Structure formats: structure tokens, C-alpha cells
Amino acid sequence: MRVAVLNGVNLDLLGRRDPEQYGSLSYSELETRIYSWAQELGLTVRCRQTNSEGQYVEWCHDALDWADGVIVNPGAWTHYSYAIHDALEPHTAPLVEVHLSNVDEREEWRRVSVLEDLAAKRIVGKGPEGYREALEFLAAR
């Protein structure tokens, strides 16, 4: 099973931004964990991060032809990007929305997810473990 993990804006700053919310792991350490969990589960993962919304949309399109499952953490785009919503809408593969922090208990604007209606599962507030849970969810399908 092939899984695209698409991380968005500002996630490259992990380890240097608000450790109370996002923990102390760097982005590259997070990727290393994701690849090792994927290996344990027998999944082929392609993990990517960008700060460019257009690039993110392109990767959503690429995942249409490649992925059997998609994990997204678009960062702040989650809360307002209808372009990303529409790029993910044609997907028939299951989609999991992951957030390191508990967005449902933070500022009002973070409680809105424009992708929510597309997600087979939403995992928030579990830190890096949220990605493991998302991989397990996809592996079990």
C-alpha cells in the first residue's frame, strides 16, 4: 500500500516553534519516525513538506495517481484553503487529516477545517504519534 504524507506550511519549523503546542521534534526527525513506522507496517510512504500552496496542490494531484491512502497536515492552510480542499476532493483513496496540536481546543479560527468533510479520519493533539495512528488506520483498511 502506498501512502502520501503531505505536510504544509511552517511544519519545516518544527522544533523551533511553540514547543508547548508542537513538541521538540524537528521536521526531519518527524519524517524519520514516519518512515520507520511505515516500514514496520509494510507501507510504502512518500513524505513531503512545502511552504508553497501551489506546490502542495500539485502534490495532491500527484497523489491521485500514486497513493492508496493520503495523510495531510496542511498547517494553517487547513483553516481556509479551498484550493487544497478542491485538489483533494477527487481522491477516492482514504484521507486522514492529522494535526500535532489539539486544534479543536485552540483559537476559534483553528477549530475550522475546510477539509473535514473529505477526511475518513481526523487525528488531533497527539503529537507525532498522530501520524503513526493515521498510518495504522490506513494499513488496516
Closest by Cα among 77, 138, 89 to 113: 77
Interface residue with ligand DQA among 18, 28, 76, 136 (CB under 6 A) is 76
**Per-residue string for binding with ligand DQA, 3-22, x by CB under 6 A?**
-------x------------
In the complex, what is the shortest distance from the CB of residue 22 to ligand DQA, in angstroms, rounded to a whole number? 6
DSSP per-residue codes, 74-97: -GGGGGT-HHHHHHHTT--S-EEE
Interface residue with ligand DQA among 110, 121, 122, 126 (CB under 6 A) is 110
The helix-helix angle for 27-41 and 129-139 (nearest 10°) equals 30
DSSP, collapsed to helix, strand or coil, labels residue 108 as: helix
Active site residues: 22, 99
Q: Give the footprint of ligand DQA on this chain (CB under 6 A).
A: 10, 73, 75-76, 78, 99-101, 103, 110
